[in-house]
Amino acid sequence: MCEEHGADALGFIFYKESKRYVTPVEAKAITKRLSPFTMKVGVFVNETPEKIKKIASEVKLDLVQLHGDENPEFLEGINFPVIKSFRIKDDFDFDILNEYKDCSYLFDTYTKDGYGGSGKIFNWDIIPKNLLDAIILSGGISINNIEKVYGTLNPSAVDLSSSLESEPGRKNENKVKEFFKKIHSLRSKTW
């Protein structure tokens, strides 16, 4: 359904502590039905490289998103393209990005009780301007603020979940439809 309305990528949460956890078997059943042009992203939190590679191969993922406390060396053990997530708070040191090579960056909101999916916004104004067009932005993005995100921040992509759900793990088709209607409208504007 998300693909039909315009999603370029779909994320599958392989973190058992998440309200959005999906088993590799369930994810594989979904990915088999997707277009080859839709990116399939596996989200992992503090998992072993062996397990990440096994699940990514079985499910036929295109990318892995590391959303935990993985250090730069950890990325070397992954043989898939990587999105490294950083949980941002006001005193975040953006220089840490220099240590992470050959990956894309996702910025999400820091919360002390979780690894994402909070639906909360962090202070986007602290993102260095030279990084904006190279990041994936997450954390509290919704139909209510996508115009600002698109027109002012203009990240390379956005990652959202909770604002399109009727409950954790269950997308609401009307919310998805309205969000992508807004996205298509924004894409047709000249900034």
Distance between CA atoms of residues 52 and 65, nearest Å: 10
The confidence score (pLDDT) of residue 133 equals: 87
Domains and CATH numbers, the chain: 2-188 (3.20.20.70)
Contact 97, 131 (CB under 8 A): yes
Q: Kindly report, residue by residue over 17-31, the tens digit of the pLDDT.
A: 999 999 999 999 999
> Once rounded to an integer, what is the mean pLDDT over residues 134-138?
94
Radius of gyration of the CA atoms of the chain, in A: 16
Q: Kindly report, residue by residue over 54-93, the tens digit of the pLDDT.
A: 999 999 999 999 999 999 999 999 999 999 999 999 999 9
> Once rounded to an integer, what is the mean pLDDT over residues 36-48?
97
Residues contacting 55, CB < 8 A, separation 6+: 14, 24, 42, 44, 61
> Once rounded to an integer, what is the mean pLDDT over residues 12-21?
94
| Nearest one of 60, 59, 52 to 83, comparing CA atoms | 52
Contact 102, 81 (CB under 8 A): no
For residue 118, pLDDT beyond 80: no
Which pLDDT band, with edges at 50, 70 and 90, does 113 fall under?
confident
> Once rounded to an integer, what is the mean pLDDT over residues 21-46?
97
Q: At what angle are helices 24-31 and 49-59 packed, to 10 degrees?
A: 40
For residue 191, pLDDT beyond 60: no
The confidence score (pLDDT) of residue 31 equals: 97
> Once rounded to an integer, what is the mean pLDDT over residues 157-175?
92
For residue 117, pLDDT beyond 70: no
Share of the chain above pLDDT 90, in %: 82
Which pLDDT band, with edges at 50, 70 and 90, does 175 fall under?
very high
pTM recorded for the entire structure: 0.92
